[in-house]
Each structure stands twice: as C-alpha cells, then as structure tokens.
A and B are shown apart, each in its own frame.
Chain A
Amino acid sequence: MAAGGVILEVEGVSKNFGALAALSRVGFAVSQGQVFSVIGPNGAGKSTLFNVVSGLYAPNAGRVVFRGQEITGLPPERINRLGIAKTFQITNVFPEISVEENVGVAAQSRSAESGRLASLWRTADVEARVTELLEAFGLVARRDELAENLSHGEQRYLEICLALATEPTLLLLDEPTAGMTPGETKDATEMIRRLALARGLTVLLIEHDMSVVMGISDRVAVLHFGEKIAEGTPEAIRNDPRVIEAYLGGGGD
C-alpha cells in the first residue's frame, strides 16, 4: 500500500484524569496513505488517544502535529476544519432527522457559505455529494428514513459517511465494526480499504477485531495501560511476546 510523507506525529502525549494516567508518553508517526491501527486491551487508552488527537481533550504533556502544524489543544471544530474527521465508538448521529439530512449537514460544513453571514439565507447545494456518499455505503434506499430507525450496522455506516462528508485527509475510525455481524464486518473492512485507496485517505483505526487489523493495516501500535508497548508491521506485532502477554495477562479481548 502506498505511503507518502509523515502526516501525523504524536509526540510524548500524556493525559491524566485525576490520579489516573490514561496515556503516558505515547508517540508514533503516521504516513500519508497508510492504514495505521491502534490496538490494546480494554482500558488501554485508545479512545483517549483519539480524543486528544481530535481535540476533545488537551493533553497534559506532549504534542500532536498534523501536516506540519501543531494542533495540540485546539478545539474539535478547528481540528476538523484542518482535515481530521472522527467517528465515534458509540454511534453518534443526528437521531430525529433523515439519513439524507444527516449527511447533508455534514457535507455543507465544507460549502462556501459555511460560517459566513450569507449562510443565514442561502441554501447549500450538497445533493450530489450526499448521493455519492450514500451510494458508496449502500444507504441510498434509506435516505428518507430517520437516523434512529436504522439498523445498527447501517448506523455505523452513517457514522463513517458523516465523517467522510467533511472531506478529511485523516480519518479516525473508533471501532467501526463494533457490534457488526461477521458478514457486515467483512464488508466494512473492504469498504474502508477501498475508500482509503480511492480517496487517498490516511486512516487511523482503533479495532478489537484482529482479523480486521491484520487484514488492512500497514502498521500497528499496541497500547497497554496508557503506554505504547510495541509498534510495527502486523506480522511483527502478532508474534511479539510482550503483546501476547498484554492480551493474555492484563484483560483480554
């Protein structure tokens, strides 16, 4: 898989919640076009890491650099506008509006009117992009359905649609296949890989499902109790004794 220059650098990031050290000096680099997975037992700090990168939390120490620009501590809306989009582990869509309206509001945040005074009276013309995204995820037939009425798998796809609609360069996927059936998981994995290639996206992925991780990752980092204990190619990680011990010993999958 293609890889270009470094697009995201996480350096020495630590995050504490009171006495709990959720992240301790975590660091790694992601290259353009890679699919980079972060794995680890429950409570290892993976979601916290995503929350730091996406702007929900400011780290207590360390920095995050995206395309050469420091984004540590910036608010989520700024970071999204710079090109990072995140999906949520627990489905987080707009429940009482339709699928089309969901993706529409996401897509229009990148239209010319966004944030300007004219947005008070202009409508954004996003229909083409919305349809394109819905087609890519097989949701066109459900476009008028309220988001809360979608099946779980469909909602996970909608999650990704929302993130993609903001035209990111880096996509943070937080357990995208959580709660999916094996069939759905396989389809989703394929879709992610295809998307990444087609749109030149870089993907940072949190996953519990090893088959997904091994199948599409270029590189894998392993977190355990907030620290990075290993990083490397999928094969190297699979055979790393420290990783095996972490999963068997510290709280399994």
Chain B
Amino acid sequence: MSRALSWRAVVVWALLAVLPALPFMSKFYLLLAFDALLFGAIAMSLDLLIGYTGLVSFGHAAFFGLGAYASAVLLERGVVSLWACLLFAVLVVGLYALVVSYFSTTRRGIYFALLTLIFAEVVYTFFRYTQTFGGSDGIQGLPDALLWRGVPIDTPLRKYYLVLVYLTVAYAICRVVVTSHFGRVLVAIRENEDRARFLGYSVQRYKMAACMISALLTGTAGAIYPIRSAFATPDLMLWTESGEFIISVMIGGLGTLAGPILGGAFFTILRDKVSSFVDWYFIVIGVVLVLIVLFMPKGLLRWRQAA
C-alpha cells in the first residue's frame, strides 16, 4: 500500500466529521458514535499486532484499563488537563507494556497469547481488590477534563470530536508504521519468523516494538475513556474485554487498518442494539465468533489493499 490516502478514506473521514450535524444525532447517538470510534481505534491498534505481526494478544484489555485508571486517578485529584492525563497514561501503560512485551515475546503462538492473558489477569486482580483504586467499584464521579484553560470537554459533541481527532492521529501513526521499513519486517515476521532471522533481523526486538506501539495506542484510547464516562472500573480489564477486541478485529479483517475500525464500530453498535432488545447479547456475540472462525477466519470484511 502506498502512503497516499485513498479518496475513499477521505470521504469517510469527511462524513465522520459532519456526523454530528445530521438530524437524528441525539446526545445518546453521539456517545454511541464515540464508543464505536474508540473501540474501532483499539481494534486497529490490536490488528497491528495480530494481523500484521501475527501475535494474538489476549491481554489488551489491561492496556486499555490501565490507561483509563491513569486518567481517572489524575482527574479524581483535580488534575483535569487532558494532556496531563494522556501523558500520564502513556507513562504508566508504557512501563507495564515494557514488562509484558519483553517477557511475552520470548515465546510464540499460543504461549504468547497465554502470557499476555496472565499478565492482564494480574493487573485485573490487583485493581479489583485494591481499595485505594476503589476496589470493584473503581473510581467514580469524575469531573470533566479540560482541553485547555476554560475549555472543558463536557458536551457529547466535544467528546465526539475528541475521539475523532484521536482516531485520526492513531490512524496516521498506524499507516506510517505499516508502510515503513519497520512495517514490512513485521509482515515478514508474521509470514515466516525464522526466515526473517536468517535475513539478519533481530526478530524479538521487532516483536517487542510492535507490541509496545499497539499497547500505547490502546492505552491512550483508555485514557480518553473516563473523559466520556466519568468512571474507571476493573471490569474494563476483564479478559472477556480482550476477547471482544479480538472479535472486532476478526469481524473487520486481519491485516488491514480500516477493516478493524469498521469491525470495532460494527461490534459496538451491534452490542448496543442487541442488548437493548435482549438480555442475552453475549450469546449472540459468542455465536457470531464461532461462525466467523468456522467460515471466515480471515475476517468478514478483509480486503488486500487497505484504504
């Protein structure tokens, strides 16, 4: 894929930018759109790892949740600058990701998946049972964050644009990485890790880097979450959340950038729509997952040239 944006991508972005102006966009739908785009961004950053590098992480919810808690902790103490929250989240998630990626990438395939899962479980258990962070209730009742002095991010409209900007930046970063020298090596690692070593690549370093980039992107998405929801809870870090991220990537298509964004958005909307009708949306999700693995393991919407 070349670095030039396709016209399709530009059109979609323009549509997203004017979305709030559409007549039916109530506050509720704006927040739903927020969730859809945020989830899509996370799915995209996860696909960097799964689709491009071939490493399936079952612990991404921990990156997301840690980012959320980092933000929440600052907001709770009155540090309401958006930039402070983002920075702090990058620091915290970065440290955790350093440890996880270093140890997890020493092993391949299913062992990598299990290692990321276990690390995430440790994080979940820690936050779930530590009262300083609110235990199972988490941190609630957070104030609005400030873009800068006098500009609070309080309305659904502003929150929506925040996530749109975030998605744009994240997409740009992913695109640059994926089309770069580095990105090509990731694909080679996915295709044939051993061969890549014999071509002179220190494969573990590349895997670590891919893991960290993916983790940091997810972590900053997590940092944005409490700005919308005004809380952070341990449930954000459940491994079932990680599973939902993976589902989104698989729905959207492995190995592309736009696919997972659509997958994540689709999944979020599906979840919202289904759970408003029925109580048992988990069953629907589970069935969808089974069907996808059986019939379209490369993803529903996979196409070779990404937008």
Interfacial residues, chain A to chain B (CB-CB below 8 A): 54, 75-77, 80-81, 85-86, 88, 92-97, 101, 104-106, 108-111, 113-115, 119-124, 162, 165-166
Contact = CB atoms under 8 A, between A and B. Distances in A.
Contacts of B176: 120-121
B286 to A, nearest CB: 29
Contacts of B23: none
Contacts of B177: 120-121
Contacts of A106: 199
Nearest to B203: A77
Contact of A105 (B184, B194, B203): B184
Given A86-B198, A92-B194, A119 B180 contact: yes
Interface string B171-203: 000001101111011011001101111111111
Contacts of A88: 195
B213 to A, nearest CB: 8
B197 A77 contact: yes
Nearest to A108: B181
A105 B188 contact: yes
Most buried by A among B176, B198, B209: B198
Given A77-B201, A111-B181, A165-B199, 15 more contacts: A92-B194, A92-B195, A93-B195, A108-B181, A108-B184, A109-B185, A109-B199, A109-B201, A119-B185, A120-B180, A123-B3, A123-B181, A124-B181, A166-B199, A166-B200
Contacts, number: 86
A97 B200 contact: no
Contacts of B200: 77, 80-81, 109-110, 114, 166
A80 B182 contact: no
A108 B199 CA distance: 10
Nearest to A120: B182
B69 to A, nearest CB: 28
A142 B188 CA distance: 19
Contacts of A80: 197-200
Nearest to A75: B197
Nearest to A94: B191
A253 B164 CA distance: 66
Q: Which 4 A-B pairs have the closest CB atoms?
A: A94-B191, A119-B181, A80-B200, A109-B200
A101 B196 CA distance: 13
B179 A123 contact: yes
A76 B198 contact: yes
Nearest to A113: B181
A54 to B, nearest CB: 7
B198 A85 contact: yes
Name the interface size band of chain B.
Answer: 20 to 34
Nearest to B205: A115
Contacts of A97: 187-188, 191
Nearest to B213: A120
Interface string B202-220: 1100000100000000000
B254 to A, nearest CB: 11
22 contacts: A77-B201, A77-B203, A80-B198, A85-B198, A93-B192, A94-B188, A94-B191, A94-B195, A95-B191, A95-B192, A97-B187, A101-B187, A109-B201, A114-B200, A120-B209, A121-B177, A123-B180, A124-B181, A124-B184, A162-B195, A162-B199, A166-B200
A106 B177 CA distance: 18
Nearest to B202: A77
A76 B203 CA distance: 11
A88 B196 CA distance: 13
A105 B199 CA distance: 9
A143 to B, nearest CB: 15
Most buried by A among B177, B185, B191, B202: B191
Contacts of B180: 119-123
A136 B191 CA distance: 25
Contacts of B187: 94, 97, 101, 105
A113 B3 CA distance: 18
B202 A115 contact: yes
Contacts of A108: 181, 184-185
B188 A122 contact: no
A167 to B, nearest CB: 10
Nearest to A106: B199
B188 to A, nearest CB: 4
Most buried by B among A77, A81, A108: A77
Interface string B27-40: 00000000000000
Most buried by B among A110, A111, A124, A165: A124
A236 to B, nearest CB: 33
